[in-house]
Chain A
Amino acid sequence: MAWRRRYDHVWFVLPGLLFFAVFIVYPTVSAFGLSLFDWKGIGRDVHFVGLANFAEALSSWPFYRAALNNLIFFVAILIFQHTVGLLLAVQLNARPRFMEFYRTVLFMPVIISLVATGFIWTLMLSPNIGFINPVLRDLGLGFLARAWLSDTTWALPAVIVVQAWNLLGWSIIIYLSGLQNVPQELRQAAELDGATAWQGFWHVVFPLLSPSFTALTVLTFIQIFRVFDVVYVLAGPLGAPAGRTDVLGTLVYRTAFGAGAMTSADARMSYAIAMSVLIFILMAAICAGLVHTLRKREAAV
């Protein structure tokens, strides 16, 4: 009877736990097993190689280059969300006229599939058929026009802009919900004490937004280190030009299934899985660190 009372909650957790075990834990564990073999992903040619795939990944430049591109991607998106996203959320929170309209328009990109987003932007950015360059020229900014997606300097920023455009709605919604939880009395108190609008925001409102800050930072980290679709659609499986846009997602994908459109003779599924396992461990560790540090910061508030 005591046992029953103590473990009653297990029945509520069980369905979710089973689902998690079958669809998340089991594949993850068996992936680790596969990563110890040399296997193309098809056929019976399988050899045990131990940790050789991990050693190869850790000593391969494309792996680090891809991780570095993910990092640049993450920092850029993070800054964008915590500045532009927050600014727009504050503006919306002031309940301007047509607020619903603005909110819908700003959130719209989030619900459009990233693949569709990528195609639309590919067409816009193309130097041959796109309209961004002609528009720049018409505005007298012709010196800015370039072949965006094949420019070694500008390809990654172009991809980041597309992703930022797509994700902006999230940051606005998360910050907006945070802002709506900030008690009105605190702001009024700050005003009465003679704080300027900026001081009120920076010393009273922003600290109270720290749960939103934590959630957004961690979510963005996970999202950006798994980024694949937008890069694949805009820059192809090779991270063109010359690997400048290559991220871990595209690297793993083309290693697993082969890089060529005509042949997949170079596919190396088990090596790709080894890279994914490394990424998994790395992301789990960083996420735990991030959550720990940011929670401390929240507690300090």
Chain B
Amino acid sequence: MTAMRRPWLLAASILFSLPMIGAAHAKTTLVFWHNHPEWKERVETILQKFEAAHPDIAIDLEEISGPDYTPRINTALAAGEGPDLIDVNPGPEARAAAEAGYLVDLTKLLDTSSLTDAGLDASTVDGKIYSVPVLGAYTVGLYYNRDIFEQNGLKPPATAADLFALCKTLKAKGITPMIAPSQDGTIPAFLYMLAASSILKADGLTAVRHGTRKLTDPDVLKAAYFMRDLYPYFEEGALGSQYTEGKALFALGKGAMMEGGSADYAGFTQTNPKIALAVVPFPALDGGQPSTVTGMERSIGVNKDGKHIDAAVTFLKWMLTKEPAQMVVDTITLTTTKGVEPSNNPVMREMIEASRVNDVRVWYEFPETANVFAAVGANAQQLFLGEMSPEDFAKAMQAAVTPKAN
């Protein structure tokens, strides 16, 4: 009896173990660190599409929030324990990571002809490609809550004068005019870049980078005055509140306006799917034009020390095709893939429309102006509190510029 049963047992156990052995061999798991926790669900939807098309590759996405990302990744890379897919900021940081030898040279491995010019420019370090901004780009303008504006018979502002009049009206009605969480400096930095870009425009920023224009010039100084004058219309406790808290407040209709970008769309609608979002370019300062600021989302590269370089390249190849680009623009933010338009996303369309007037590249992507971002963070609160004059603030901003040697 036992002799009869044994061959069956053996055959059955071999049969049962085969798929397991197969699975263990076939599946490659890529670790991907990214820094937009509020996008997690939407990015995972894109990753699932990829996994469905590539059953042998799985992607383990870890989202790390804003200020915690750089310390985590720099430490892990230095220790040789970085993830397979790394996201880096285009500009000086991407250059530093490439020069340090952390990233695979993708120039010959990827066909980047589908990228927009700005996207390609952001990917390139000394003529070589080390990362690609396949999770999109962002344009920053002024969001407003359509419901609050309609209920109060208000129109979105086109100039700084309109904006201040509007803020006064809203404040008198007991509505917080402007949500501007300023604890970590991100929002003040964008407010300053938008206000200064209204005056400077793209040419003026180039002039600042070459040292022929200064942030202390009398017309650009208006940006510092603008910041100081706008502060009284921020939400209560703005100086101590975090970016994420501010975003949640705006999404829940606790304020009428917030400086924000296409990349914030996902977070707002995730918090409150019913929010009536609308976008205009940032109001023009006296003598300037309405402005928007555009930058690349973090660009994705492949860890040179990673164990699955081929699989990681396969993933980036797929990300450069139209299908994921369409998902990015429909659910997350603007895309960097040519010829992909939002199919049914009015906010993204308004954002594209807003950027047609006076769009300036985000300052931190240029080595000469990269430190202005941090300089705003270090000084804006003193400016808001009246502990620093707008003139001194502008001086501190100019001191953070390292003009190109011509």
Contacts and interface: CB of A to CB of B under 8 A. Distances in A.
Contact of B236 (A147, A261, A263): A147
Interface string B82-96: 000000010111011
A233 B74 CA distance: 21
Interface in B92-144: 92-93, 95-97, 99-100, 102
B385 A241 contact: yes
Given A42-B93, A266-B373, 12 more contacts: A45-B96, A149-B241, A150-B240, A237-B184, A240-B182, A242-B381, A242-B385, A259-B374, A260-B189, A263-B91, A263-B364, A265-B371
Contact of A238 (B70, B100, B184): B184
Q: Which of B77, B240, B249 is the most central at the interface, judged by chain A CB atoms within 10 Å of its CB?
A: B240
Contact of A155 (B240, B243, B382, B387): B240
Contact of B77 (A42, A45, A151, A235): A42
A266 B373 CA distance: 9
Contact of A126 (B237, B370, B373, B377): B237
A43 interface: yes
A198 to B, nearest CB: 43
B99 A43 contact: yes
B237 A149 contact: yes
Contacts of A151: 240
Contacts of B70: 257-258, 264, 267
A23 to B, nearest CB: 14
B234 to A, nearest CB: 9
Nearest to A233: B242
Interface string A138-150: 0000000001111
B273 interface: no
Interface of A is mostly: loop
Contacts of A148: 237, 240
A197 B364 CA distance: 67
A232 to B, nearest CB: 9
B235 interface: yes
A240 B382 CA distance: 10
Interface residues of A, number: 39
A179 B278 CA distance: 66
A40 B240 contact: no
A157 interface: no
A259 B24 CA distance: 43
Given A257-B70, A264-B89, A238 B240 contact: no
Nearest to B189: A260
Nearest to B97: A42
A262 B89 contact: yes
Interface of A: 40-45, 122, 126-129, 147-152, 155, 235-238, 240-243, 253, 256-267
A281 to B, nearest CB: 24
17 contacts: A44-B99, A128-B237, A128-B254, A147-B239, A238-B184, A240-B183, A240-B239, A241-B381, A243-B381, A253-B71, A260-B185, A261-B184, A265-B91, A265-B370, A266-B370, A266-B371, A266-B374
A260 B237 contact: no
A286 B184 CA distance: 32
Contacts of B67: 236-237, 260-261
A265 B78 CA distance: 17
Considering the complex of A and B, which 5 residue pairs feature the smallest CB-CB distances, nearest first? A149-B240, A147-B237, A150-B240, A261-B66, A150-B239
Contacts of B100: 42-44
A98 B67 CA distance: 45
Contacts of B74: 41-42, 257, 264, 267
B399 interface: no
B186 interface: yes
